[in-house]
Amino acid sequence: MSKLDLLITKTEFLKARARAAEILTRAGIVLTDREKKKIEVADLGLGDLENIGLEIAVYINTKRCCAKELVLFPGQICPEHSHPDIRGKPGKEETFRCRKGIIYLYVPGRITKNPKAKVPKKYKKYLTVWHEIILKPGQQRTIPPNTRHWFQSGPAGAIVSEFSTASHDKKDIFTDPHIKRTTKTRK
């Protein structure tokens, strides 16, 4: 399989963006036309968007704060990563607030027996933290800087609002060495 085979097509990218915008609209979350056109489709270079990745609408990202909506399609996984220190300053601290659906969030701690996550076998080796926190609408959790974490949406998908310190997504450290934070598409 070539690197080109791992890229999503431009059509897949546009469909995912439109799907995420529609999910947000149906949930009563209003985005401007400009914000809809800027929804990021993060396939993470794996070409498996239905299983791994997420869609991101960024409201603001300054040197001090960031606010985003994260859309996860049913069963979609945001893979394990951490937010490292940058130029001597603590990495990103983020709070996830579930707006719609269910999120299975995994962080360091006591391993959960029989976790709810349904992870394709080829990705399990890159998941090292298995303490499960279930977030339902209205529930939230704060993740400290430099903390490995990953999450998966439930069977109906999910919307998560993220409030954080400045976001430097391209600096995130992923456990899976194959992940590329910048999305590229093929024809």
Q: What average pLDDT does the segment 5-29 reach?
A: 93
* pLDDT classification of 3: cutoffs 50, 70, 90: low
- Model pTM? 0.95
- For residue 121, the tally of other CB atoms under 10 A from its CB is 6
pLDDT at 118: 97
Alpha-carbon span 134 to 105, nearest angstrom: 6
Q: Which of 69, 50, 175, 176 is nearest to 118 (CA)?
A: 50
CA atoms within a 13 Å half-sphere pointing along the CA-CB vector of 118: 9
What are the chain's domains? 4-186 (2.60.120.10)
